[in-house]
Amino acid sequence: CSSLQLGLCELSLTESPINIVTQRAVTEGTLTPLTFRGYQDMFDSIITNNGHTVKVNLSGHALVEGGDLQGPYKAVEFHFHWGRKGGPGSEHTVDGQQFPMEMHIVHIKDKYSSVSEAVADPSGVAVLGVLYQVSRNKKYETLINALAKVTQQGNFNTFIVPKGQYSYFRYTGSLTTPDCAESVIWTVLENTVHLSKQQLSAFSDLMFGNGSTMVETFRPVQPLNNRRVLYYSGCNAATVSNILVINTVLTMLLTVWE
């Protein structure tokens, strides 16, 4: 975002992203496991370079609930934030550590038809944040190959399949792009997904709408301003090895076609 765009957000007090201080996160009994419905079904989605980021619009058939959310929320899109050639690029940081990339899966209450409609509700949007670290993950090769086809603005078809159960952090905040509406329930997964530096660097080959290299697409962390960060520890001891966190919430590469 430009400084002018970010200026639209400066007067607000519950902005995102934030630095999550793990020792200060509160274990809250009201938090429960997240439940994903409809994510196991394959469906056609479009990878789009919209000139600002890599975005995938979803059909809204996949729902997330539980986790003290106010009813089911439907997934409408996901997008990524990254740095430069595998360098720091996540929006959220954990104990001051910035990760190479972050994926945001944007959900809205099932009764709404769009994000723009949902943001009028103080809890209308629920975003799931997934952080990435450097390590080889062959399961993302097809996504990475697809990026080459959307280097300039354009679309590409692929399948996605979410699965998993995770420990997570929870707080109330905002969208991270203007107008930074403060209508978001944030869930940031504790466990990270691994990609190689080469795979992460592929995102840096994309182009903004003005033709410049699409790098450092993250908003800096914002003041917490006395908000509480809650923590839920998954009952299944979430690890990369035993619950396939390596797939993240989305296993993105069952099939790709022109």
Measured in whole angstroms, how far is the alpha carbon of residue 175 from the centre of its chain? 11
Alpha carbon separation from 78 to 55, 100, 114, 232 (Å, rounded): 6, 17, 14, 23
3 state SS of 101: strand
**Pairing between β-strand 101-109 and β-strand 168-173 as defined by DSSP bridges:** unpaired
Residue with tokens 């660097």: 201
d(CA 226, CA 214) in angstroms, rounded, equals 34
d(CA 211, CA 126) in angstroms, rounded, equals 32
Is-catalytic flag, 52?
yes
3 state SS of 254: coil
What positions carry a catalytic annotation? 52
